[in-house]
Homo-oligomer: A and B are copies of this chain.
Amino acid sequence: MPSLKDVARLAGVSESTVSRTLNRSIPVDEKTRARVEDAVRKLNYRPNLLAKGLRARSGRLIGLIMPEIIHFTFADLIQEIDDCSRARGYSLIVAHHKGDAVLEEAIIDTLIRRHVDGIIFSRGPDESREKKLITDSGVPAVVIDCAFENEEHGAVVLDNYRAGMMAGEHLTALGHTRIACVTGPLRIALSRERLKGFRDALAGRGVTIEENFVIEGDFRFESGVRAAQLLFQQGSEPSAIWAQNDDMAVGVLKHLGSIGLSVPGDVSLVGMNDSSLARMTTPGLTTVAQPYSEMARQAVSLVLSLKQQDRTIPERITLNPSLVIRESTARV
């Protein structure tokens, strides 16, 4: 691999001149520039980003930490964040921790050693020790999607309360009164916020949720199935259900199918996230969508801007959900 030195030698100039030519930092004589560019081409020279990074104390790198990769929300976010980062000249180091706090710390540690310019992560359910680690190191960090109520880092989140409201308003507008909700883990703030918005929307129409119509799931398909089992083995049954993500909604759908109930004929069903699942099911799933692309853009912007400014004021950016109506909901 040729280095600056080789280019300089071949072009018959000093290393500094080559560097200046390539970085257009300072005017350079036309003829020298031509000679340098020639040499660069001949040697197929590529600047060594490790050396550049060492010098600049910046790896031009963004670290992205997710609980897992094979789930719609995370895969969506990763893909969008990858786009934005590259557009701004940064590469993405991606890692997942599966909810393991020790692993998460190890990942953060590595990112710091690699001199990433920022870390974007989504909180796992358990309060991990990342705060100290990140704050001490001075690396800017932004939480995306899954944050605490009062987050100590910058955060880009959905207005989850509003998401709940939208689901609730849609179902009550259709005349439903016996309404159930399959939540995410209630330890996670966004599950609670969604539920609160949902409850408030119903209350606004004079509807209250029976306590055994609120089932706590874990965002996985299987928990949706279990929730539906629970809901439909009791004496009284809901005519509408909101599941706080599409996976669980599809779980509900599967169970309803297996006990011979039709959607939306017998039960109306709303999901959340507008993942690619939503258009694949029969019937297509009405769902509350998140603006992933916008969230990604904001997260990248925020984390890079934190690098410059003084980082005492954690900024929180809240984006709006939207309702996508398909065939899984109908008038009561």
Contacts and interface: CB of A to CB of B under 8 A. Distances in A.
A82 interface: yes
Dominant secondary structure of chain A at its interface with chain B: helix
Interface in A260-300: 276-277, 279-282
A229 to B, nearest CB: 15
Interface string A70-94: 1110011011001000100001111
A141 to B, nearest CB: 16
Contacts of A91: 93, 95, 110, 114
Contacts of A282: 253-254, 257-258
Assembly stoichiometry (copies): 2
Interface stretch (A17-25, A41-49, A161-169, A316-324): A41-49
B82 A276 contact: no
A221 B82 contact: no
Interface string A243-255: 0000100110110
A51 interface: yes
Interface residues of A, number: 53
Contacts of A82: 69, 94-96
B59 A69 contact: no
Given A1-B138, A46-B137, A258-B282, 7 more contacts: A46-B113, A48-B115, A78-B94, A91-B110, A254-B282, A257-B282, A277-B277
